[in-house]
Homo-oligomer: A and B are copies of this chain.
Amino acid sequence: MAISAYATIQPSACSHCAVRSRSICGALDGEEICALNEIATRKTLHDGEFFVFEGDAAQAFANVVSGVVKLTQSLEDGREQIVGVLFPSDFFGRAFGSQNSVYPCTVQATGEVNLCIFPAARFDQLLVKFPNLERKMLEQTQKELDTARDWLTMLGRKTAPERVATFLYHFATRSAEAGCKAGHAFEMPFTRADIADFTGLTYETVSRQISILRKQGIIVAESPRHISFVDMERLAERAGRGLSAH
């Protein structure tokens, strides 16, 4: 079959990549994926490790292969906000003109993370060469924009209980989608402080709200980082309008 033939010519990681079908690489066929594979390098990040900082020159483009990555912004006095979360198959980076642009946010691993990295300039060339790749990138960027806008509504208009429920619901949905785990029991890569930075609350408030959900039997927390979602419907109810699962 075609794929294994290409794999012989170019014994690439791409052909057996776990996220191949869902990531932007899914837009490419065997021949094209080889071109992409040529410029790709892998990198592992450990928990809390930074990949780029806010204001850095945008020189790379990367796909998340495994793990969870957070995008954050900070104010001068140290206040911090999570402005994006990347699951396996999500990418980040700026297409075109990235030479003179900078990253608008800090990129940090939450737990162990595997990245597939492409140099920006060479990736741009491939975008021009493979229209499908560019199209897929546009689609993903639009989805991320939709997600960001749902978060705006959460931060601007939802109460603390609603925000925490929204976060948990969104996280459970995204994790399941990204194939992290089936069913309703999850290993959370996020600390209470992370959830606070996501929801615009303090970690004390997050902790209190999670305790309430536990007492109401909506979730069960074996340990702070292991949560079972017992009643997704009641959770969704408490979340009000959910975040569009992207």
Contact = CB atoms under 8 A, between A and B. Distances in A.
Given A75-B241, A76-B240, A131-B128, A104 B146 contact: yes
A210 interface: no
Interface stretch (A80-88, A186-194, A226-234): A80-88
A152 B155 contact: yes
A141 B139 CA distance: 10
A197 B155 CA distance: 12
A89 to B, nearest CB: 18
B73 A150 contact: yes
Contacts of A146: 104
Among A131, A134, A145, A200, the one with the most B-chain Cβ atoms within 10 Å of its Cβ is: A145
B240 A158 contact: no
B95 A153 contact: no
A142 interface: yes
Interface string A153-192: 1011110000000000000000000000000000000000
Contact of A73 (B75, B84, B144, B149): B149
A94 interface: yes
B152 A141 contact: no
Nearest to A94: B142
A35 B167 CA distance: 45
A153 B73 contact: yes
A149 to B, nearest CB: 4
A199 interface: yes
A135 interface: yes
